[in-house]
Amino acid sequence: MTSVAVVGAGISGLVAAYRLRQALGPAATITLVEAAERIGGKLRTVPLADGVIDIGAEAFVGRRPEVPALLAELGIADQLVHPAGLRPLVWAGGALHPLPTETLMGIPSGRAAVEGLVDDATLARIDAEPATPLRWDRASDIDVGSLVAERFGEQVVRRSVDPLLGGVYSGLSSSIGVRAALPTLAAALDSGASSLTEAVRLALPPPLAGPVFGGIRDGYAVLLDALLAAADPVLELGMTVRSIERIGTSWQLEPLGSFDGVVLALPAQTIGRLLAVVAPAAASAAAAIPLASSALVALALPAGADLPQHSGVLVATGESLRAKAFTFSSRKWPHLAERGVALVRASFGRYGDSVADTGDADLIAAATEDLATVTGVSVTPTDAVVQHWSGGLPQYLPGHLDRVDEIESGLADLAGLEVAGAFLRGVGVPACISAGSAAAARLLAAVH
């Protein structure tokens, strides 16, 4: 294999190109194609207030090893940073509450997890849940919201589960399937847990010895640039691949030409359109994965802005606020606190709403006003930047893993064509790194 195309220069595509370069050596031609005018996909680092800030993902889960391992491989391990350890708050019922602990993505393991956040009737329902007969179908899937509402009530869904799932998927618990989003919970229920309370307790991961999250000191751009340099591809920015066709043992990409192998690291619906002719079953499954749009507003506030001593605020669904979450970046990250300016990120948009389509000026105003509501900090930003993420995150609807299986089985006989991305088996940066590495490995195995 001497010529490979990776279509999509987000983190999955960049990792795939890097892994292919490692395996194929300097003589191979690796072409990296990106429809946008920059690399990075849904990761982006921009200037703000005499420094930089990430306006896509800003952190990764510390339990997974992919990001630290990749930083070390690339010789930039000194960029790894960790949060200050402050806890976030939840805005619910027009007031701030501590974020529940001892929960699985907001699903409580007992009444103590959500005391003070939900009413007495809901607490009584949580107490009674273990004695309530549980209906669970091992052969099907259900959305997280329906399961939790049936067992614990709507307040738990709106005030605890939705805020956390909304941060991960830009969705609602009603648009997220249990099996794909919470596999350990599904496994506990499949194994015969007699109640949701018992299943959550079985599914809770053991406490981490180290930090829960990690980040990159100078933003994800550092990692993206290092991957690009190490992959050393022929970079084609601003180019859209219009079609893909198999000719003999090669793959023809219009308008680029012929390649021995191809990795498609694109949003699911774009992959669905490209695969319609060569892999119709896989294309249909990919096209059925919907996308949520979101927007992020990064604010620089005067240094004296008295933000709460917490990492941020998650907003319950059904509240009057337009923002769904705030990150107090200069509280959360010690390296940002050193800059002497208060930095805040405000997130907007959930699956099915149009908030993210609001104009930049209105989003900045909404972020400033909602921040004042939840914190009492009413100041004019000294600087601001807005990022719209159209179709930013795939929604893992019930049955998502079945659709992923259909995509993978539909490509099984097409040697030299692989897919990668957040639509497969995880939306976070570590999962996308894993997906890019796995796609490169499958491609290499198929053509050698």
pTM (predicted TM-score): 0.95
353 pLDDT tier (thresholds 50, 70, 90):
confident
Query: Is the distance from CB of 67 to CB of 432 less than 8 angstroms?
Result: no
Question: Cis peptide before 211, with omega less than 30 degrees from 0?
Answer: no
- Class (C level, CATH) for 103-203: mainly alpha
DSSP state of 159: I
- CA distances to 51, 299, 335, 343 from 383, rounded to whole Å, are 11, 6, 19, 10
3-state secondary structure of 103: strand
Tokens read off for 368? 């400033």
Per-residue model confidence (pLDDT) at position 207: 81
The angle that helices 11-24 and 429-447 make with each other, rounded to 10 degrees, is 40
Q: Which fold has domain 3-41+224-290+396-447?
A: FAD/NAD(P)-binding domain (3.50.50)
Alpha helices in 33-161 (DSSP H): 66-73, 120-128, 144-152, 154-156
Tokens read off for 23? 């395996």
Enclosing H/E stretch for 359: none
- CA distances to 14, 74, 346 from 230, rounded to whole Å, are 10, 8, 34
What is the rounded distance in angstroms from the CA atom of residue 43 to the CA atom of residue 17?
17
Distance of CA 86 to the CA centre of its chain: 21
What is the rounded distance in angstroms from the CA atom of residue 57 to the CA atom of residue 49?
19
281 pLDDT tier (thresholds 50, 70, 90):
very high
Enclosing H/E stretch for 313: strand 312-315
415 pLDDT tier (thresholds 50, 70, 90):
very high
Average pLDDT of the segment spanning 110-118: 96
Average pLDDT of the segment spanning 369-390: 95
Query: Is the distance from CB of 3 to CB of 28 less than 8 angstroms?
Result: yes
What is the rounded distance in angstroms from the CA atom of residue 213 to the CA atom of residue 311?
12
Q: What is the pLDDT of residues 245-262, one digit of tens each?
A: 999 999 999 999 999 999
Tokens read off for 348? 């907007």
Pairing of strands 261-264, 417-419: parallel
Q: What is the pLDDT of residues 20-39, one digit of tens each?
A: 999 999 999 999 999 999 99
What is the residue-wise DSSP string for 187-213? HHHHTT-SSHHHHHHHHSPPPPSS-SE
What is the rounded distance in angstroms from the CA atom of residue 232 to the CA atom of residue 111?
54
Query: Is the distance from CB of 258 to CB of 252 less than 8 angstroms?
Result: yes
Per-residue model confidence (pLDDT) at position 87: 93
pLDDT beyond 90 at 40:
yes
What is the rounded distance in angstroms from the CA atom of residue 374 to the CA atom of residue 93?
11
Per-residue model confidence (pLDDT) at position 129: 98
Domain borders along the chain are 3-41+224-290+396-447, 59-99+206-218+291-394, 103-203
Average pLDDT, the chain: 95
Q: What is the pLDDT of residues 194-253, one digit of tens each?
A: 999 999 999 998 887 778 899 999 999 999 999 999 999 999 999 999 999 999 999 999
Domain 59-99+206-218+291-394 sits in CATH at: 3.90.660.20
What is the rounded distance in angstroms from the CA atom of residue 264 to the CA atom of residue 65?
24
Per-residue model confidence (pLDDT) at position 366: 97
Q: What is the pLDDT of residues 388-400, one digit of tens each?
A: 998 879 999 999 9
